[in-house]
Amino acid sequence: MKVVEKKKIIIIEDEIILALELKKYLERIGYIVSSIETNYKDIKNSFKKYLPDLMLLNINLENNKENKNFLEEINKIKKVPFILTSSFTDIKTLKKAVPYNPSAFLVKPVNKEELRINILLAFK
């Protein structure tokens, strides 16, 4: 099912093979993947450049404190929904996710249908 409106997404993922697979899928269903970022140093500039409509964010990228600061800085530029991803489902990881108020939390490897559905819900 193709999306009607072309929305821009930034993928923030340190597992490059997974990121490229997600990019290929998202573009096939009609989204624009503006960039793939693997660290926080490059994300802010990329965000300012592309002003995406959604972020797909690995919660375990670098450290948790940096996650929080990054999201606060991004929201000052443009508030966008984001979907957190993680390979971990332990209670500690889930408790880390809650304060961020994500649109969704997806377990890796990401199920593409779940991703598609949660992106649609994030835009509502």
Candidates 93, 82, 116; CA nearest to 13 is 82
Superfamily assignment of 8-122 in CATH? Response regulator (3.40.50.2300)
**What is the average per-residue pLDDT within 82-100?**
87
- Per-residue burial over 8-37, b if 16 or more Cβ lie within 10 Å, else e, is bbbbbbebeebbeebbeebeeeebebbbbb
pLDDT score at 5 = 66
What residue spans define the domains of the chain? 8-122
pTM score = 0.88
57-88 pLDDT per residue, tens? 998 765 545 556 777 788 888 999 999 999 99
Candidates 118, 121, 115, 123; CA nearest to 26 is 115
